[in-house]
Structure 1
Amino acid sequence: MLSAVVIKRKNPPHRRNKHLCADAGYRGAEHLRTIEGHGYIPHVVSRRTEAAIKRRTPEKKARRWVVEVCHSWFNRFRKLLVRYEKLERSFLALNHLAAAIIAFRKVPLSVNIIYG
């Protein structure tokens, strides 16, 4: 996955470190070597350690992994959670529609566009 994800950008004026946050499933030595081999600094924290840090400093907000949050947003769409669609193109279209609705809900609006 790390080899497939390449973001082309202009060269920054100074070299910045690349960080990669991962969950406890990537704590093994082989995974850490792979992460470091691609030039990333691994940040692998177990949920127990993260909970202990939160207990020590309760003013810090709990942090959820980006993928977990996205899955949570998509799981709110019942038609996607239980796949009723037979055709792949219909299922893909519904996923695109759900993504558009999720993105639209994130836009702050001063007027309720549904009720005027």
Structure 2
Amino acid sequence: MTQLEAVLEAIQVKRPAPPKRRSKHLCADAGYRGAPAMKTILDHGYIPHVKGRRQEAGELKRDPAKRARRWIVEVAHSWFNRFRKLLVRYEKLERSFVALNHLAAAIIAFRKVPLKVNIIYG
């Protein structure tokens, strides 16, 4: 028994039989592209939708909304880490720590806004 068979056999939730126009679909990556995997998928009554790696990579390049945005979070963490009092938590009370986080966020946002010349701030 392959791992694919074990996973398909282990499905616990029994659902009602789908109507003919709404059958069971199984979306998988290129690891399940071989003939034995396809036979197992079809034997369990699923309609396979298997994409190749190049096809997935091409779709990711075309649609920027699907790209990983992890770097945005990492940049934000590095901005907050520049405040030493937040890097090592010295505050005992949670509300003090949250207030310092809000202050740091306000300072970061203020530094990102471009200041215009000949405008009096204050």
**TM-score class, shorter:** 0.3 to 0.5
Larger relative helix fraction: 2
- TM-score after normalising by structure 1: 0.43
Larger radius of gyration: 2
